[in-house]
Structure 1
């Protein structure tokens, strides 16, 4: 059953609509990640759930209870901010205990809660220090500890890792995932980092310009993007979006790519989406993830449909566990993900295999997926 429900949510500042009819829900114990570019409305959506921003219209329910008009203190939520928002004059222990002290929680109970979260977050040795004596990662753990002692119905995280360096972000990401697995609390988490979204979420909501573009599991978002924006935004490296033309091959269809100064490449499309027949003789955008374009020896043996073409390699980028090769199709650079030891050289023509079961097609006019 859905635990957090957001129904047709609208938020305007004056005449400017920030959130435009957002509808989504998450089950109890779920991990919902709101993702999208800067200015897409994800932090505003989080603030409306928290009660820090009033909504213009729509409905928010937590545990079946309508909270639209409830004060933030009555919503049973806890928030972890990007800036940590710790009191600089208080010790770690005092920061963690402050909210409990305000609510009149007895001192023995406060001390036990502090000890429990300190053990959970491995910050017991920091309890007597001030925030100025802590690293960024330690401050973030303290901010999380202050939220955890609340034992709320919902945790809200607003880009909590964006101030940390790359390695520490990965470490903290793992800690947050481990914490969620242990506690099973419902979490709503805002980030612009789609890798963070993919690794943490049970459900992802992709926002653009205040409009919910797609809502689903990480696998659904990654493998079945509903439009070109989601396809391009989710994934690193991003999905290759290649201009192409749909042709005929007897009773079947082909996807054809122009190449500057070289013969076109034509691939037979087996099991095409039913709507693709209507694009025969027309332009489409062909979407293929880098891992679905690789050297023949590294191709997925379980793929039901593959096609190999000889392609001119322009750039080779060794990346440790993988090698990335860039070719050109339809006037665009296309990235292939090869095995680390793949024997490929720039300036040469090399066979590359497309996993056609992992490819998608988009209408260039609407940018929506062709089904």
Structure 2
């Protein structure tokens, strides 16, 4: 049975609908990430779970109990904010234990809980310091410690890493993942960073303009996006979305891609989606991840459908473990992800392998996936 359920949730500020018929659920111990661009409603949704914002319609259930009308203090949740929200005049130990002190937890019990959490977060040496004496990463650990010491039913994280530098974000992401694996507590986590979403989540909810676009596992979201927004938003670099045309090939359907100053590429489609037959002679949007467009030597030999074509290489970008090459197809710049030692040069024509078994197709008008 689902532990956290959000059922037909609506939220409006006056006449402005911020969240529209949101339906989500996560099992106990799951890690749900709410992701989307700024202003999509993800933080508002988190605040409704916390009870910081009343909902306009629908229902929120935690552990089978309806919590719509419950005060935040009665919901058995703990929240970690983007701004850390530490008391500057208190030590780290006092910040972590303040909530327990307010609730009247005896001092020996408080001290034992603070020591346990400090050891878990590796901040034992910092317990006597004030927040002004800590780095950004250390402050975030203290904010997490204040939540962890509560031992709640659900942890809520509101973009907790957004104030950290790039390397520290990666380190803290690993720490949060490790903590979740150790504790097994249910977590709802808000971010605009799709890399954070992919690496942390057991389930991802992608939002846009207050509407849930797709809900599923990271693999489902990445490999089977339901529309062009999800395809473009999830992934770094993003999925290539190339205007193309479905035609009759020698052995069935084929995909025609326009090239600059050269005849179109025609790629045979083996085992295309059933719905693609209706698009014969029509335009589609061809979606292919950069890693599914590569140099022939680096192509997946176990792929069910591989096709090769010569493409003019405009730009080459070495990136250490990979080399990215930019070509032009369908009137758009297209990124291919090649082996680090791929022999390729800008201003030349080179063969690229298309892993068509990893490709998806979208209707250019509705922007929905063709199944």
TM bin (shorter chain): over 0.9
2: CA distance, partners of 1:249 / 1:34: 42
1: CA distance, partners of 2:355 / 2:335: 14
2: CA distance, partners of 1:179 / 1:360: 36
Q: Which residue of 2 aligns with 1:60?
A: 60
Q: Is the 8 A contact 2:251 2:268 kept in 1?
A: no
Q: Deviations over 1:267-299 (max 9, x none)?
A: 001101011011111110000000000001100
After TM superposition, list the pairs within 5 Å mapping 1:274-353 onto structure 2. 274-353=274-353
Q: Deviations over 1:172-193 (max 9, x none)?
A: 0000000000000000000000
2: CA distance, partners of 1:250 / 1:265: 14
Q: Is the 8 A contact 2:33 2:190 kept in 1?
A: yes
Deviation at 1:301, TM superposition (A): 1.3
Deviation at 1:302, TM superposition (A): 1.1
2: CA distance, partners of 1:308 / 1:258: 15
Does 1:145 find its partner at 2:142?
Answer: no
Gaps in structure 1 of 5+ consecutive residues: none
Deviation at 1:260, TM superposition (A): 2.2
2: CA distance, partners of 1:349 / 1:251: 27
After TM superposition, list the pairs within 5 Å mapping 1:11-160 onto structure 2. 11-160=11-160
Q: Which residue of 2 aligns with 1:263?
A: 263
Q: When the two structures are aligned, how many residues end up with a matched partner?
A: 371
Q: Which residue of 2 aligns with 1:229?
A: 229
After TM superposition, list the pairs within 5 Å mapping 1:162-311 onto structure 2. 162-250=162-250, 252-311=252-311
| TM-score calculated relative to the size of structure 2 | 1.00
Q: Is the 8 A contact 2:5 2:60 kept in 1?
A: yes
Deviation at 1:117, TM superposition (A): 0.3
**SS in structure 2 of the partner of residue 178 of structure 1:** helix
**SS in structure 2 of the partner of residue 146 of structure 1:** helix
2: CA distance, partners of 1:248 / 1:274: 15
Does 1:354 find its partner at 2:348?
Answer: no
Deviation at 1:94, TM superposition (A): 0.3
**SS in structure 1 of the partner of residue 307 of structure 2:** strand
Q: Is the 8 A contact 2:222 2:235 kept in 1?
A: yes
2: CA distance, partners of 1:259 / 1:297: 23
Gaps in structure 2 of 5+ consecutive residues: none
2: CA distance, partners of 1:210 / 1:365: 21
Question: After TM superposition, what 4+ stretches of structure 1 lie above 6 angstroms from structure 2?
Answer: none
**SS in structure 2 of the partner of residue 2 of structure 1:** coil
Deviation at 1:241, TM superposition (A): 0.1
Deviation at 1:258, TM superposition (A): 1.1
Deviation at 1:261, TM superposition (A): 1.3
| TM-score calculated relative to the size of structure 1 | 1.00
2: CA distance, partners of 1:252 / 1:4: 47
2: CA distance, partners of 1:260 / 1:133: 58
Q: Is the 8 A contact 2:315 2:326 kept in 1?
A: yes
